[in-house]
Amino acid sequence: MRPVTERWARLGKWNPSMLVHTSDAGVCLSAFVVARRGNSVLVCRPRGSDAWPKKGGYPKHLAVKLELEGAWLMPATHLLMEESPDNAAQRIAREWVGLVGRPRFVMVQSHTRPHSLWRRNAEGKHWDICFVYELAVRGIPKTKPWWSEMRIVPFSQVRRMKMGRGHKDVLKAAGYI
């Protein structure tokens, strides 16, 4: 186990006497909306659009990579600075996907990934902290320009789909698949 001075995760520099460090590979705070219809979930195929950095908090070139790989995503994005997870989930549902309703908090999920996926010279692992919400939906909303396709698929099918950005990890941890 790491020494006490290295093992506590603290973000921000508000008090010099506190232990402050993050991985060189970074930390992301994200909200995920599991848009459900019965035993099925809404998944979206990204389109390499200029909207990704602004709306999705994700570099366009990585969105293009997901598009070329044929990956699917759930409605999700990084939290804006000082945005609450609840507000982020509402923003994702309404603006990012076009869903109606108020997402219900389900859980916090956390996972790490190799640093090489994010920063070439970073040490350690990138840490994702994901606030998971659920929202009941009736149908598929009109596809936004940053998505090439949207589908409602059974959770059993999601197990076999190519999912991007740790989305399958979130669904597994929340008990959906």
Question: What residue segments make up the domains of the chain, in order of their start?
Answer: 24-173
Dihedral pair phi/psi, residue 9, rounded to 5°: -85, 120
Mean per-residue pLDDT pooled into runs of 10, the chain (177 residues): 54 59 77 97 94 85 92 93 94 95 96 66 77 95 94 96 90 93
The whole-number pLDDT of residue 127 equals 83
Collapsing DSSP to helix, strand or coil, 61 comes out as: helix
CATH of domain 24-173: 3.90.79.10
Annotate 114-135 with b (16+ C-beta within 10 A) or e (fewer).
ebeebeeebeebbbbbbbbbbb
The whole-number pLDDT of residue 44 equals 96
The whole-number pLDDT of residue 5 equals 54
Question: Please, which residues bridge with residue 132 across strands?
Answer: 32, 107
Dihedral pair phi/psi, residue 76, rounded to 5°: -165, 155
* pTM, two decimal places: 0.85
The whole-number pLDDT of residue 22 equals 65
